[in-house]
Chains A and B, each alone.
Chain A
């Protein structure tokens, strides 16, 4: 087994109990994602795609099996440990940006740094540098509702990156954008992968997004399928 694996899932299951009935969302999944990979996880609704995203993103715990993130078994982490790991290891990029509307771009980006106890001025400095890097420094003091969709997504990506995560986890990153902006956002994500050596995992149902990735993992009915 490679020590370079960012994500290592072994026989991972997730079972929900809904109204007294057990529902098996994931039925023993094995996934291995190396550093610097650009991977799409695809599947129709009900395939277990969302559950997979939640578990990969440390927002939920598996029912059984193991999840190693950057070499650490996180399967039995408590809430605080999960939160800390989310903060340090994962950068989320959400479908509808999920920027806090009352906060400026800069404040949105410093947020994730503040959760690791970083000094406010240090955090602002880092956030500024990140905005600069993303080419949107002039938006630092703008609020999300004054930005275009593409600009918001760039701020969201800046927020995901600022903490220096091992894994960029994107949930339908282009779902809320027109095709032109979608392409631009995908360019940013692939750029991060190729030039910044980030491991990027994109959960999507969009085949076009999938085709832009190095590898596609298909989920169907809670299991990894061998593709179409």
Chain B
């Protein structure tokens, strides 16, 4: 006999494990259920979170993140004084002088008036804007021109894609040069905006907008007021400081102004925080179910060790070393959780795909979450499988052979 102590090749352990797992299919399935759910939730949550972040970033990518939106409300409910007190266009444009970090200023008026065209109601809203809005919102035109500084009170409008389609549907005429009736005022369509990806940042839907010169908008309705101003910033200004600065400026105009700020950077920050909480929460659930799954695997393996005491004895009599027995059960539990982990990863990816589908997000397959889910499952299998395997290896062959 040579002095080397021999061990079973690993392939044999895998063959044995597969024979054993297949002979108890139902139990095998039940044992992996916990791991499956755990791995699925880990994968689904990490993938889902990542998809959401990407989607949010995508929304801002087109606009850029160096924007700051200001909405202006008046706390005074006295209507007669409203129009007098509302911000004038020069006042709004003067914000640019407050900081060298402000690159451009786009005030706009959002007004929900009835729109009719060729006897049909149009579903859309009036936006009074300056030409700057085009570059600010990265709009591009499919037809005609955008409103210009020369327009002032000229009755021209630029329409969003939705409005364009509605008009086309109404009478099959090219909307260019046609007139839209806004409460008795007729605006001639001078341009059409290409479909614009909606954004969580700006609340008006530019696809459903009829954009008219801001001067015209301010005189069309007595309720029309500059209630929104969008700033494009350059450099990396301290947003809090800038906001305080702008607030102060409006306070000097009138104490009744209430300002609300929104910036993509802050929104992303907020969403990321929310996502982190969500990830932590789901991760907790995933971890719990993986632990429960691991305990399930351990339980099944303990039962299996007891049931197969006779087999352990026979194997030992045939020359199995304690290490061989330990490895045999360890391979089995690892295979068990590997199987559960694989199914779980597939399910998790499927769930994240469905989430993306339902939410209308772009789906992409990430490598990291499946890899994490997979490796955690394997780890669980080894960790929770070790004790039963160790227990099996410590059994006395004589007791095992006598076991009925």
- Select which of B5, B23, B320, B398 is within 8 A of A102 by beta carbon: B23
Specify which chain A residues have a CB less than 8 angstroms from the CB of B398 in the assembled complex: 54, 59-60
A67 at the interface (CB under 8 A from B): no
Q: Which of B296-326 contact A (CB under 8 A)?
A: 310-311, 313-324
Tell me, in angstroms, the Cα distance from A163 to B401 when the chains sit together: 20
Asked whether B6 lies within 8 Å of A115 as measured between CB atoms, the reply is yes
Tell me, in angstroms, the Cα distance from A87 to B8 when the chains sit together: 12
B172 at the interface (CB under 8 A from A): no
A112 at the interface (CB under 8 A from B): yes
Q: Which of A46-89 contact B (CB under 8 A)?
A: 54, 57, 59-60, 72, 79-81, 83-89
Specify which chain A residues have a CB less than 8 angstroms from the CB of B173 in the assembled complex: none
A107 at the interface (CB under 8 A from B): yes
Asked whether A84 lies within 8 Å of B318 as measured between CB atoms, the reply is no
A137 to chain B, nearest CB (A): 21
Specify which chain B residues have a CB less than 8 angstroms from the CB of A107 in the assembled complex: 19
Tell me, in angstroms, the Cα distance from A179 to B300 when the chains sit together: 41
Asked whether B8 lies within 8 Å of A114 as measured between CB atoms, the reply is yes
Given contacts A59-B397, A120-B11, contact A98 B6 (CB under 8 A): no
Asked whether B319 lies within 8 Å of A87 as measured between CB atoms, the reply is yes
- Select which of A83, A94, A103 is within 8 A of B319 by beta carbon: A83
Tell me, in angstroms, the Cα distance from A59 to B398 when the chains sit together: 7
Tell me, in angstroms, the Cα distance from A94 to B316 when the chains sit together: 13
Specify which chain B residues have a CB less than 8 angstroms from the CB of A26 in the assembled complex: none
- Select which of B6, B12, B311, B316 is within 8 A of A100 by beta carbon: B311
Asked whether A88 lies within 8 Å of B9 as measured between CB atoms, the reply is no
Asked whether A92 lies within 8 Å of B321 as measured between CB atoms, the reply is no
Tell me, in angstroms, the Cα distance from A211 to B23 when the chains sit together: 43
Given contacts A84-B5, A102-B20, contact A116 B319 (CB under 8 A): yes
A226 at the interface (CB under 8 A from B): no
Specify which chain B residues have a CB less than 8 angstroms from the CB of A59 in the assembled complex: 316-317, 397-398, 401
A122 to chain B, nearest CB (A): 11
As a 0/1 sequence over residues 372 to 404 of chain B, the CB contacts with chain A under 8 angstroms (1 = contact) are 000000000000000000000000011001000
Asked whether B9 lies within 8 Å of A120 as measured between CB atoms, the reply is yes
B7 at the interface (CB under 8 A from A): yes
Q: On chain A, which size bracket covers the interface? A: 20 to 34
Tell me, in angstroms, the Cα distance from A92 to B7 when the chains sit together: 20
As a 0/1 sequence over residues 136 to 179 of chain A, the CB contacts with chain B under 8 angstroms (1 = contact) are 00000000000000000000000100010000000000000000
Specify which chain A residues have a CB less than 8 angstroms from the CB of B323 in the assembled complex: 80
- In this complex, the member of B1, B19, B310, B318 whose beta carbon has the largest number of chain A beta carbons within 10 angstroms is B318
B389 to chain A, nearest CB (A): 16
Asked whether B318 lies within 8 Å of A117 as measured between CB atoms, the reply is no
A214 at the interface (CB under 8 A from B): no
Asked whether B9 lies within 8 Å of A117 as measured between CB atoms, the reply is yes
Given contacts A86-B319, A87-B318, A159-B318, contact A115 B324 (CB under 8 A): yes
- Select which of B9, B313, B321 is within 8 A of A84 by beta carbon: B321
Tell me, in angstroms, the Cα distance from A80 to B5 when the chains sit together: 7
Specify which chain B residues have a CB less than 8 angstroms from the CB of A60 in the assembled complex: 398
Tell me, in angstroms, the Cα distance from A86 to B313 when the chains sit together: 13
Q: Which of A100-127 contact B (CB under 8 A)?
A: 100, 102-103, 107, 111-112, 114-117, 119-120
B215 to chain A, nearest CB (A): 88
Asked whether B320 lies within 8 Å of A115 as measured between CB atoms, the reply is yes
B79 to chain A, nearest CB (A): 87
Tell me, in angstroms, the Cα distance from A121 to B321 when the chains sit together: 22
Given contacts A59-B398, A83-B316, A116-B319, contact A88 B19 (CB under 8 A): no
As a 0/1 sequence over residues 1 to 23 of chain B, the CB contacts with chain A under 8 angstroms (1 = contact) are 10001111101100100011001
- In this complex, the member of A80, A83, A100, A102 whose beta carbon has the largest number of chain B beta carbons within 10 angstroms is A83
Asked whether B7 lies within 8 Å of A117 as measured between CB atoms, the reply is yes
B10 to chain A, nearest CB (A): 11
Tell me, in angstroms, the Cα distance from A88 to B314 when the chains sit together: 15
Specify which chain A residues have a CB less than 8 angstroms from the CB of B314 in the assembled complex: 94, 98, 100
Q: Which of B307-366 contact A (CB under 8 A)?
A: 310-311, 313-324
A8 to chain B, nearest CB (A): 17
B54 to chain A, nearest CB (A): 48
Question: Can you list 5 residue pairs at the A/B interface with Cβ under 8 Å?
Answer: A54-B398, A79-B322, A92-B317, A98-B314, A111-B318
